[in-house]
A and B are shown apart, each in its own frame.
Chain A
Amino acid sequence: MSKDLHTDLGLKEEDLIEMYRYMLLARYCDERQWGLNRQGKAPFVVPVSGHEAAQVGSGWAFEKGKDVFCPYYRDMALMLVAGLTPKDVFLGLFGKKDDPSSGGRQMPAHWGSKARNIITGSSPIATQCLHAAGIAYSKKYKQSDAVVGTWFGEGGTSEGDWHGAMNFAGIHKLPLVFVCENNQYAISVHESKQVAGSVHGRAAGYGMPGQLGDGNDLLEAYRLTKEAVDRARAGEGPSLIELRTYRFYSHTSDDDDRTYRTKEEVDEAKAKDPIPRFETYLKSVDLIDDAKIEEIREQSKTQVAEDAKEAEAADFPDPIDAASHVYADLEVE
């Protein structure tokens, strides 16, 4: 790795520190929410650990306030980059009234916030890719230079919605970046039973470039996505990026990955943890030392602990509100 890699990519020192901080916040949120689940305080958790570099790196390539995010449920680190806070994550986890994604209506990790250009998502897989295609078509129609990003796992590429979105984006050369976080498992089904050929190889069939990258390498995730975002913004059309990574926990708190993955395999993946890997880079370019690492880690841990506590103490929605917002102009019984 070249000492000046980040400079070559146009990233400043403060960018790197911020990206590092987002990865840590996501990791600590994850550890906290998993713990809360095991204590019986949070019914359901979708973990992110392992995906932090793929998400922070790809998300960093987009322009907040202009570009649009169509994420999937595992994208907590991406959502922190897009503008949600750890407190927002915990408000959603507990189903509290001020959860910005849904006011406690959806399960945790079903992200959305109009103010932050995060499009509301559901549980069915890859449906968001078609919304991204429609939004990207609209941006092009309005001659806006905004770019749309959509994220999904390799399992999502099996859905018809994904095919439709890739096809439509390719036909109309839409300003759209498809980011696949390939962690090799759709719950328990291994990539070898999910994907014939390769994910990035499919791009050719839709007339767009496909790139394969190491999703545990923050700067590579950023570089590939930034190239795609620049292409899209320049009117050169969509791209597909496959970032290979691994999830450290089970699919959700209700899953048990010991039924389909060996401890050895998981340990091997954890040895490639993207966070220490980025710390190594930061040290190699003299941006940070062990004392500074300790300081940022402690700050992040403290923020997560405080945010979790505040969210736990926040109010639940009023039951009377359950029948609101079905229609803009009709009351329902």
Chain B
Amino acid sequence: MTEKNVVTAIHDTLQDEMKRDDRVVVLGEDVGARGGVFRVTMGFVDEFGEDRVIDTPLDECLIAGVAIGLALDDLRPVAEMQFADFIFPGFQQIVQEAARIRYRSNGDFGVPMVIRAPWGGGVHGALYHSQSIEAFFAHVPGLKVVVPSTPYDAKGMLIQAIEDQDPVLYLEHKKTYRLIKGEVPDERYTVEFGKAAVRREGSDLTCISYGLMHHYCVEAAERLAKDGIDAEVIDLRSIYPLDSEAILSSVSKTGKAMVVYEDNKFLGVGAEVAAQISESVLFDLDAPVVRLGGAHIPAMPYAPTLEKWFLPDVDRIEQHMRKLAEF
């Protein structure tokens, strides 16, 4: 067991997986000599060579399309999109190709590839270095979309993603990279996709979130606990497959639900979670489902005042939790 932050857990896991299996190759912009702009592949090119640590041209469409080809020939590519915000030139290759290849070939071909993408706000990244992209991709059958928020999950879910037979979009929240630390077992393990984690048990309300927001929700719940309000806090960990069972059983128990996410609220993950709750456990509810998400503006603005206005924080989450608890 070693204490690590999220980015170190990802670096060490990827390094171990490359040592273990020479089918694992990484590709992306600046992954070689620079070791990635967030240093996830730091030292890799010296250890594994340029053949396995591919500095690609500045072309995200190429990164996604070449990774598909590598996977089709039985390698295990781990592609890096430098920022999730820049993934869109690769959207067609990911959505039209990677996601549909198993289905359209009637199971003849599969694409075992991982796309890592640093996402999320609160880092003064403004419009094009703060985006949440999960809703675009979770909408597409054939893809798995996962959002580990702790160093433990970062390791177990990255190994699971590399072992997975289907394309996995592995989202790394940038603000958690160095902010969130935790114990990471030294041995190899996987964290199954589609299993949410109940990080805090409670009986008064259920708070569902993922990524950075999950940590804010835990903090808000601790504040409420001092006043005798007991919130159950769920970290989804995986957007697709979604752990509907964990959500529904918790909401059935507490009778109140809120979903917190930093994506634009409209048609985001919260919409799906709220819809599933209303479809399945409506009559267990004691209050309307609350969605706390980003305003319907094109992206997170830059100035600190504007960024703070957009991004839910612990204070705002706490206020909404209290209001829901008192309903």
Residues of A within 8 A of B (CB): 68, 100-103, 105-106, 110, 112-114, 119-120, 122, 124, 127, 129-139, 141-142, 160-161, 163-165, 167-168, 171, 324-330, 332
Contacts and interface: CB of A to CB of B under 8 A. Distances in A.
B103 A127 contact: no
A112 B109 contact: yes
B15 interface: no
Among B97, B102, B144, chain A packs the most CB atoms within 10 A around the CB of B97
Contacts of A120: 101, 104-105, 108-109
B74 interface: yes
A168 B101 contact: no
A160 B61 contact: yes
Interface of B: 25, 51-52, 54, 56-57, 59, 61-62, 64-75, 77, 89, 92-93, 96-97, 100-110, 141-142, 144, 164-166, 194, 241
B74 A138 contact: yes
Contacts of B142: 326-327
A161 B108 contact: no
Given A138-B69, A164-B65, A165-B62, A114 B103 contact: no
B165 A329 contact: yes
Contacts of B64: 130
Contacts of A122: 96-97, 100, 104
Contacts of A167: 57, 59, 62
A321 to B, nearest CB: 8
Contact of A103 (B65, B92, B96, B106): B106
Nearest to A139: B73
A168 B241 contact: no
Most buried by A among B51, B52, B194: B51
Contact of A112 (B62, B92, B105, B241): B105
Given A124-B92, A127-B97, A131-B97, A165 B102 contact: no
Given A134-B66, A134-B67, A167-B57, A327 B100 contact: no
Nearest 6 A-B pairs (CB), nearest first? A134-B69, A130-B65, A103-B106, A164-B62, A138-B73, A328-B165
Nearest to A132: B69
Contact of B65 (A105, A131, A142): A131
Contacts, number: 139
A332 B141 contact: yes
B92 A130 contact: no
A161 B63 CA distance: 10
Contact of B66 (A101, A137, A139): A137
Contacts of B75: 138, 141
B108 A113 contact: yes
A114 B108 contact: yes
Given A164-B59, A165-B65, A328-B166, A134 B106 contact: no
B166 A327 contact: yes
Nearest to B112: A328
Nearest to B62: A164
Given A102-B106, A124-B97, A328-B166, 4 more contacts: A101-B105, A134-B77, A168-B66, A327-B142
Contacts of A68: 73
A133 B25 contact: no
B102 A325 contact: yes
A134 B68 contact: yes
Contacts of A100: 108
Contacts of A330: 194, 241
A137 B70 contact: yes
Nearest to A106: B104
B102 A327 contact: yes
A142 B70 CA distance: 11
B107 A325 contact: yes
Contacts of B62: 130, 133, 161, 164-165, 167-168
In this complex, the member of A105, A131, A164 whose beta carbon has the largest number of chain B beta carbons within 10 angstroms is A131
A124 B142 CA distance: 17
Nearest to A126: B65
Contact of B61 (A141, A161, A332): A161
B70 A134 contact: yes
B69 A114 contact: no
